[in-house]
Chains A and B, each alone.
Chain A
Amino acid sequence: MGILEVKGINKRFGGLQALGDVNLSVAENTTHAIIGPNGAGKSTLLNVLVGKLIPDSGSVMFDGQSVLGRKPHEINQMGISRVFQTPEIFSDLSVFENVMIPCFAKRDGAFRMHAIESIFAERGIQEQAEAILEDVNMLEKKDMIASSLSRGDKRRLEMAMCLVQDPKLLLLDEPTAGMARADTENTINLLKEIRQKRGITMAIIEHDMNVVFSLAERITVLAQGTPLVEDTPDNIKGHPKVREAYLGEAQV
């Protein structure tokens, strides 16, 4: 029984079958990659997991509870954090505020009317925020406005915002998309470190096979909205069906 159990998910957009009978099980304490050619339904699946899309049928269980029908913020409160393809951060706020906000969300829940307390008096939250910035090597940038960060730093900041919530499952949507080689290496190392240090379960959607094979412990291959195979990286590498799926894409 995995921490995330997806069973028989179907989703149609008009005449297009975006997801057809998707089953997926992400075991606790592993890194699970979901790969597949363009249009395979990876993003649709991800959006179902975080509550942005509601599937036509099927069930998604996380940690023994159903995810379906819940709003994104409720799903996050259940313990799923998401890293976006292009970092979604609070760009008008300082780096420090960016990481304080998830700390508050973790402590106080989806809403709390703490309108009179001062941020400066929240020592516990501040220490937490400083600790996570230290972990991602951004402490010296804590007073910078987030929009002025470099692309790589924005990515790290977003990662820090997710990690500080100590999620049970971290979803990563193409974390190295559009990155230079060196940045990609850094990100891989950062993710490996997170995996080892914190033991957070991760589900990664990725295009870059290099990233996938250096991180994943299990891989699910999606093609045309259905899972083709699920196996260990070594077995996936030479799998004929996988080759076919990717070659098929190349020919189109």
Chain B
Amino acid sequence: MLGLEKKDFRLLLIVIGLTMFAPFILNPFPEGSEMAQFNAGYPDLMQRFVIFGIFAIGFNILFGLTGYLSFGHAAFLGVGSYAAVWMFKLLSMNVLPAIILSVIIAGLFSLIIGFISLRRSGIYFSILTLAFAQMSFALAYSVLTPITGGETGLQLALDDPRILGVSQTESGNIPVPALFGLEMRSSYELELGAWLFTFNAGYYLAAFFMILSFYLAIRIFRSPFGMMLRAIKSNQTRMSYTGLNAKPYTLAAFVISGMYAGLAGGLMASMDPLAGAERMQWTASGEVVLMTILGGAGTLIGPVLGAGMIKYFENIFSKINETILHGWFAFLPDGLENFVVALIYPFIGKGWHLTLGIVFMLVVIFLPGGLVQGGQKIMGLFRRKKPEPTKPNATEPAE
């Protein structure tokens, strides 16, 4: 179906199902209940899930397939955001041209940076991308303020031209991003008993793009091109002695992943029409590295899972505070309760970064295939009582 093998098509269907029903799946707890704070089904967060999913899927096409570790991908996301906001300022509030432009601009930008950075490989490549991204960040923050809005970020104003739209609405406000009149922020709320589900237009637009991105990623993974990219990761010497020029292949992968980042940036601006330089900072690039590897670099679904997990932790897990913890362990005797809470507290709530760092290290050390590989191992455990011998293609942890 759709040019996919059966297994891949099933995976695509699962992803479609999950994203379409996300407002239900992510809101399992009744409104007002104690557990409601763990509901992630609100538009803002759901949008972030899918947008960062796109970012990570794209990053995985570069890192997962070719093994080139870029530490500067956030620059493309940032550029995409700026491009989209400029489209809102100059052309109209329709998100479609904005998103298209952000993909194009990010693609061009990544073509330039990729062309230069790919003249080196290994750690030099990582540092070149890092240097370029930090440079873009520094420039966006200072000299390029007329284009980027500098420290305050790029925002819409009442006197923007918007030649195909209106500068201001009749009530004198800045118009909001919309898809042919469908406002991105508009939501439909469904109340079912104690449960409340929110269906947000912006989320569904972003989800549509994520499914499209995911579908394209499957096609790329299963294409001769994708095979060449894996060959580059495996053995560049053999690659060139087989008559293949690795450079255009890697550059193409770099630009494709840059365009994915641009798409994510454009969508981000479409949900909330402003763009700031901090989106380009290297820590933001580090985040997408974390997502991809946590989920499973080189796997199809891994990056999406990784992105979802990190964003869930960042927004939900981080809210758990000491009081809530005490509530949970109230059944324990007082002394023990305090002890357990003191033991757990550093790792959750505001300390979730610590947990993230530890989990990330464990994944790099023991599970180079990320959570997806971990899941497969557990599945294997259940299926035949014995773990499946690890596939020899997965890099074995040393010792």
Contacts and interface: CB of A to CB of B under 8 A. Distances in A.
B325 to A, nearest CB: 44
A136 interface: no
Given A93-B231, A115-B225, A145-B393, 17 more contacts: A71-B245, A76-B242, A84-B237, A97-B227, A101-B244, A102-B243, A108-B224, A111-B248, A117-B223, A117-B224, A118-B219, A119-B222, A119-B224, A119-B227, A148-B392, A161-B242, A165-B242
A195 B228 CA distance: 30
A110 B244 contact: yes
Contact of A114 (B224, B234, B246, B248): B224
Contacts of A74: 243
Interface in A20-48: none
A139 to B, nearest CB: 19
Contacts of B234: 90-93
A3 B248 CA distance: 31
Contacts of B224: 100, 104, 108, 112, 114, 117, 119, 122
Given A90-B234, A100-B227, A115 B220 contact: yes
B219 A90 contact: no
Nearest to B4: A118
The 9 tightest CB contacts between A and B, nearest first, are A76-B243, A115-B225, A110-B245, A90-B234, A148-B392, A92-B234, A88-B238, A105-B243, A72-B240
B241 interface: yes
A72 B241 CA distance: 6
Given A104-B228, A115-B220, A119-B222, A89 B238 contact: yes
29 contacts: A50-B241, A71-B240, A71-B245, A73-B239, A73-B244, A77-B243, A88-B238, A90-B235, A90-B238, A93-B231, A93-B393, A100-B224, A101-B227, A101-B228, A108-B224, A110-B248, A111-B245, A114-B224, A115-B252, A116-B3, A116-B219, A118-B222, A119-B227, A120-B5, A145-B391, A145-B392, A148-B392, A161-B242, A165-B243
B242 A119 contact: no
Given A105-B243, A165-B243, A92 B230 contact: yes
Nearest to A73: B240
A226 interface: no
A110 B245 CA distance: 5
Contacts of B393: 92-93, 145, 147
Interface in B210-228: 216, 219-220, 222-228
A56 to B, nearest CB: 23
Interface string B373-399: 000000000000000000111000000
Contact of B219 (A77, A105, A115, A148): A115
Nearest to A144: B392
A168 interface: no
B226 A105 contact: no
B98 to A, nearest CB: 25
B230 A93 contact: yes
B249 interface: yes
Given A92-B393, A120-B5, A145-B392, A81 B227 contact: no
Interface residues of B, number: 35
A16 interface: no
Contacts of A108: 224
A213 to B, nearest CB: 28
Contacts of B256: 115
B235 to A, nearest CB: 5
A106 interface: yes
Contacts of A72: 240-241
Given A114-B224, A116-B223, A76 B238 contact: no
B15 to A, nearest CB: 19
Interface of B: 3-5, 216, 219-220, 222-228, 230-231, 233-235, 237-246, 248-249, 252, 256, 391-393
Contacts of A121: 3
A119 B241 contact: no
A158 B392 CA distance: 19
A182 interface: no
Contacts of B391: 145
A115 B231 contact: no
A114 B248 CA distance: 12
Nearest to B244: A105
Nearest to B245: A110
A118 B227 CA distance: 10
A155 interface: no
A113 interface: yes
A218 interface: no
B361 to A, nearest CB: 23
A105 B242 contact: yes
Contacts of B216: 116
B223 A119 contact: yes
A165 B393 CA distance: 25
Contact of B245 (A73, A101, A117, A118): A73
A88 B237 contact: yes
Contacts of A156: none
Contacts of B252: 113, 115
Contact of B235 (A91, A111, A122, A148): A91
B230 A102 contact: no
A108 B228 CA distance: 12
Contacts of B223: 114-119
B244 A111 contact: yes
A88 B219 CA distance: 28
A81 B241 contact: yes
A7 B267 CA distance: 61
Q: Which of B230, B238, B239, B246 has the most CB of A within 10 A?
A: B238
A100 B243 CA distance: 13
Contacts of A145: 391-393
A114 B223 CA distance: 7
Contacts of B219: 115-116, 118
Contacts of A90: 230-231, 234-235, 238
